[in-house]
Structure 1
Amino acid sequence: MRLIFLGPPGAGKGTQAKLLTEKYGIPQLSTGDMLRAAVAVQSDVGKRAKAVMDAGQLVSDEIVNEIVSDRIDSADCAKGFILDGYPRTVPQAVALGKMLAGKGLRLDSVIELKVDEDALVRRIENRVAETIAAGGTVRSDDNPEAFKKRLVEYREKTAPLSQHYAATGELKTVDGMASVETVTSEINAILASASADA
């Protein structure tokens, strides 16, 4: 079961990925975790990534693609994986397609959680208001202004992935504004259909 989740911040990708990880026994691979792990074990590509990060620069697609390729070869990915936060751009998606083909693998599904961005912003604003009213501490990532910036960045860089995967016929969309249970059952139906077609 090899999947990619697409959707803006706050769409519920992490929640759904966790449920699938438990159900199928496959790892959720986030770019940040993979980068940190490669640096920690001091693999060749990890050392290159560390040098770039130490210089305060962004890690190139080439390095990120190599780290993903190495990670997919790990034993715990034998049954599949969920990619979270990768690919982030269309060139990364093209590289991933070639990488998987080179390993004799293919994606089972690309699932996009469609959400109402205004509703997401209101959700965060409400959460902040409720936390303050209850005398709690507001989390640093519960900042509506910062969240709006992340949504703009998502639209500019990552949203074109939807068009890319729609063109390849791999994209399936789910209403991310539905309840967690409804989203989960829709995703399970998509995956059941994908494995029947395989």
Structure 2
Amino acid sequence: MAEAAEEEPARLWPPPVGAYAEERGLFPLLQKMLEELLIHKPDDPIEFMINHLKQNNDDAPRICVLGPPASGKTTVAMWLCKHFDATRISQETLLLEETLALTEEAKAYKEKNQKIPNALWANLIQERLSNVDCIKQGWILEGFPENQEQAWMLQSFGIFPRHVVMLYASDTVLIERSSGKRLDPLTQEVYHTTFNWPSDPVVQQRLEVPPDLSEQEVSRRLLEYHRSFPELFQIYQKVLKSINADQPSVDVLSQVLTFVQTRPRSAAPFTPRLLLCGPSGSGKRLQAALIAQKYGVVNICCGQLLKEAVAENTKLGELIKPYIENGWPVPDNLVLELLAKRLSCLDCLTDGWVLCGFPRDVEQAELLQSSRINPNRVFFFNLPYESIMERLSQRRTDPVTGQRYHTTFRPAPTPEIQARLRQNPRDQEENIEKRLETYFRNLKDLEDFYEDAFYVNADQDPYVVFEFIESCIIKPLPCKKNRHL
């Protein structure tokens, strides 16, 4: 039996399996479930996984906002909670949670002006995070963990933030900020006499100066924070981003949001399926060639694919031929049949592909989707009208050698070649304008269809454009649509 088993050939997964798993997020899901099993070590792993799938929302935010006193942790945490509809958890909110079993014990320490033990804080946080709102909607931990011991305790409970925001500013700035802080005892919202003063007179009247904001107390807390910071940084460095809090709050919040919307790199297999959209002259073909050359994906230009089908005299090519010869648009069903056949070939399924030239409108995009041709990265190339005209209208071709030149960027090397150059009728201004009018008429609907697309400034050095596209290929998709260069 052992010999027979050894002789049995290894089973290979068919190529579409990887695409199926990627589209449905199976690899991250299985990784997360395995992590939960190793942390909690349940007696019945199957039942535990079933309950995990029923209860947990693995896409919900799990964020820690850390920083020294007066760095703006509360402002950032509250803003994130409103943005994600998540639950904010801080010292103040925990001490107000009367339903928690350990709240009274923590309050007793507070009333005696004694330091609340790390273990008590950690247990309070664990109890609060086990509530349904935190599981379903996610959570923002403000000011926790405060030190290494708390961080280790939270990890032992299986509490791992996906993102840790570390705010920083000079001590001078922080001490000055502290003097202007005011607290709303009713809502626990923090305001500032200079940066964030409420417009409601009723709120203004009830604001109080927090009791522990003397310069000496703030200096003491800053010193304590600086002692704990290196250890926290070491623990969370793989999921941590330091953000300068000494800048306008709008800029701070923008940087925080960009960071917390990033996803960690995954070890799961990834097959690139790239779609490049853009007007004529935006450089789609060049970028497709660069991508194919570096990553070994199959470069598919829709126009070239149609010409090859005609040249090879295939049955489909014979149907396409009259349209090509007469300059008519090839019907969508023929283009789609040709594309589907090519993209289902083994090299496309295993190595991936980069496609340009199709779709040109939302109807064609819907046809692609109905044929299960789904790109996992879509790029829209943006280029000003003047740049498009300059790139295309000045193109010339040498009828003898077939070489292509440009009167500005790549002029002919000799007067003899210059004299025999010809312009393709497609590159005449009136024909360029017709193509652009068609492209921009359909652009908005196409952008709405591919709402998670990246937008590329194509009016710059081609290798700068390539570096941006490359960064989007190798990094996981952020959690937000309309990402820009």
TM-score of the superposed pair, with normalisation by structure 1: 0.79
| Residues 19-46 of structure 1, C-alpha deviations (whole Å, 9 max, x = no match) | 1001111122122222233334444323
SS at match of 1:107: coil
5+ residue gaps, structure 1, are none
Is 1:93 aligned with 2:372?
no
| Residues 126-182 of structure 1, C-alpha deviations (whole Å, 9 max, x = no match) | 9426737962424524x7961452243233246524532334423211110121121
SS at match of 1:77: helix
2:315 counterpart residue number: 44
| Residues 91-147 of structure 1, C-alpha deviations (whole Å, 9 max, x = no match) | 1111011112xxxx5211111111112123235549426737962424524x79614
1:10–1:54 Cα change, 3 Å: closer
1:183–1:148 Cα change, 3 Å: farther
2:338 counterpart residue number: 67
5+ residue gaps, structure 2, are 1-271, 396-405, 480-485
1:52–1:180 Cα change, 3 Å: closer
Higher relative CO (Cα under 8 Å, sequence separation at least 6) belongs to 1
Question: Counterparts of 2:327 and 2:426 in 1: how far apart (Å)?
Answer: 27
* Larger-gyration structure (1/2): 2
Is 1:108 aligned with 2:387?
no
1:173 counterpart residue number: 455
Question: Counterparts of 2:463 and 2:326 in 1: how far apart (Å)?
Answer: 44
**2:315 partner amino acid:** D
| Identity percentage of aligned residues | 23
**1:31 partner amino acid:** C
- Quote how far apart the aligned CAs of 1:52 are: 5.1
Question: Counterparts of 1:114 and 1:32 in 2: how far apart (Å)?
Answer: 21
1:28–1:147 Cα change, 3 Å: farther
1:31 counterpart residue number: 302
Question: Counterparts of 1:118 and 1:76 in 2: how far apart (Å)?
Answer: 39
SS at match of 2:475: helix
**1:22 partner amino acid:** Q
1:164–1:42 Cα change, 3 Å: same
- Residue 292 (structure 2) aligned to one of 15, 21, 35: 21
Q: Answer 1 or 2: which has greater helix percent.
A: 1
1:115–1:196 Cα change, 3 Å: closer
- Residue 140 (structure 1) aligned to one of 378, 402, 423: 423
8 A Cα contact 1:112 1:171, kept in partner: yes
**1:179 partner amino acid:** D
RMSD: 3.1
1:121–1:91 Cα change, 3 Å: same
SS at match of 1:186: helix
8 A Cα contact 2:362 2:449, kept in partner: no
TM-score of the superposed pair, with normalisation by structure 2: 0.35
- Quote how far apart the aligned CAs of 1:66 are: 0.5
